[in-house]
Chain A
Amino acid sequence: MHFIAVDYWIMVLSLILMAASLAMYFIKDLIHAVIVYGAYTVTMALVWLLMNTPDLAITEAAAGICTTVLMMVAIFRTSRKEE
Chain B
Amino acid sequence: MRDYILKRMAAVILGFISMYGFYVILHGHISPGGSFAGGIIVGLSFIAFSTIYGIQDGSAKLPEKILVWVESYGTLWYGLMGLVGIVKGAPFLANKLAGVDLGTPGTLSSGGLISLIGLGVGIRVASTMVTLFFTLMEEEA
A residues with CB within 8 A of B = 54-55, 57-59, 62-63, 65-66, 69-70, 73-74, 77
Chain B residues with CB under 8 A of A66: 40, 43-44, 47, 129
Chain A residues contacting B32 (CB-CB under 8 Å) are 54-55, 57-58
B 94-141 contacts with A by CB, 8 A: 129, 132-133, 136-137
A58→B44 contact, CB < 8 A:
no
Residues of B within 8 A of A (CB): 24, 32-34, 36-37, 40-41, 43-44, 47, 129, 132-133, 136-137
Name B's interface SS.
helix
Total residue contacts A-B, CB cutoff 8 A: 39
Distance in Å: Cβ of A71 to nearest Cβ of chain B = 10
Most chain B beta carbons < 10 A, residue from A55, A62, A73 = A62
Q: What are some 16 contacts across the A-B interface (CB < 8 A)?
A: A55-B34, A58-B37, A59-B37, A59-B40, A62-B41, A63-B36, A63-B40, A66-B40, A66-B43, A69-B133, A70-B132, A70-B136, A73-B133, A73-B136, A73-B137, A77-B136
